[in-house]
Structure 1
Amino acid sequence: MGFSSTYFFYVISLIWLLTFVSNTNAQLTPTFYARTCPKLHSIVRATMAKAIANDPRMGASILRLHFHDCFVNGCDASVLLEDTPTFQGEKNSYANQNSLRGFKLMDNIKRNVESICKNTVSCADILTLAAREAVVLLGGPTWKVPLGRRDSRTASISAANTNLPPPTADLATLISLFAAKNLSPRDMTALSGAHTIGWARCATFRSHVYNDNANATFVASKRSICPPIGGDDNVAPLDMITPNRFDNGYFKSLMAQQGLLHSDQVLYSGGSQDPWVRLYSKSNRALSKDFAAAMVKMGNISPLTGFNGEIRRHCRFVN
Structure 2
Amino acid sequence: MMNSKCIGLALYCCLILSIIVSTMGAYSPPLKVGYYRRSCPQAESIVRNAVKKAVSKNPGLAAGLIRMHFHDCFVRGCEGSILLDSTPNNLAERTHPANNPSLRGFEVIDKAKSKLEAVCPNNVSCSDILAFAARDSAFRAGGIYYAVPSGRRDGRESVFDDVTNNLPLASFTATELVDNFARKGLSLDEMVTLSGAHSIGVSHCSSFSDRLYKFNATHSQDPSMDPKYASFLKRKCLKSSSQDPTVNLDSTPRHLDNQYYKDLKYKRGLLTSDQTLLTSPLTSKNAWYNAKFGTTWRAKYAAAMVRMGSIEVLTGTEGEIRKICRVVN
How high is the TM-score relative to the length of structure 1? 0.91
Question: Paired residue for 1:221?
Answer: 232
Question: Paired residue for 1:258?
Answer: 268
User: Helix, strand or coil: the match of 2:37?
Assistant: coil
Letter in 2 for 1:302: E
Matched, 1:244 2:237: no
Letter in 1 for 2:248: P
Letter in 1 for 2:247: A
Letter in 1 for 2:172: A
User: Helix, strand or coil: the match of 2:178?
Assistant: helix
User: Helix, strand or coil: the match of 2:247?
Assistant: strand
Structure 1 gaps, min length 5: 1-13
Matched, 1:187 2:190: yes
Question: Paired residue for 1:97?
Answer: 100
Distance in structure 1 (CA, Å) of the matches to 2:151 and 2:301: 22
Change (3 A) 1:24 1:153: farther
Task: Find the partner of 2:305 among 281, 295, 298.
Answer: 295
**Runs in 1 of length 4+ with deviation above 3 angstroms?**
20-24
Residues 151, 309 of structure 1: 8 Å contact kept:
yes
Letter in 1 for 2:233: K
Matched, 1:62 2:65: yes
What pairs with 1:277-316 in structure 2 (closer than 5 Å)? Answer: 277-316=287-326
RMSD: 1.8
User: Helix, strand or coil: the match of 2:148?
Assistant: coil
Distance in structure 2 (CA, Å) of the matches to 1:226 and 1:270: 27
User: Helix, strand or coil: the match of 1:91?
Assistant: helix
Distance in structure 2 (CA, Å) of the matches to 1:25 and 1:77: 18
Matched, 1:138 2:141: yes
Distance in structure 2 (CA, Å) of the matches to 1:233 and 1:152: 33
Q: How far 1:141 sits from its partner (Å)?
A: 1.7
Residues 208, 260 of structure 1: 8 Å contact kept:
no
Question: Paired residue for 1:276?
Answer: 286
How high is the TM-score relative to the length of structure 2? 0.88
Q: Sequence identity of aligned pairs in percent?
A: 39
Residues 174, 280 of structure 2: 8 Å contact kept:
no
Q: How far 1:233 sits from its partner (Å)?
A: 2.8
Distance in structure 2 (CA, Å) of the matches to 1:84 and 1:226: 35
Larger displacement relative to structure 2 (281-290 or 68-77): 281-290
Residues 31, 147 of structure 1: 8 Å contact kept:
yes
Alignment size in residue pairs: 303
Matched, 1:150 2:160: no
Distance in structure 2 (CA, Å) of the matches to 1:266 and 1:252: 14
Question: Paired residue for 2:114?
Answer: 111
Distance in structure 2 (CA, Å) of the matches to 1:108 and 1:22: 35
User: Helix, strand or coil: the match of 2:165?
Assistant: helix
Residues 59, 134 of structure 1: 8 Å contact kept:
yes
Task: Find the partner of 1:21 among 14, 20, 24.
Answer: 24
Q: How far 1:230 sits from its partner (Å)?
A: 2.4
Q: How far 1:24 sits from its partner (Å)?
A: 4.8
Distance in structure 2 (CA, Å) of the matches to 1:179 and 1:92: 26
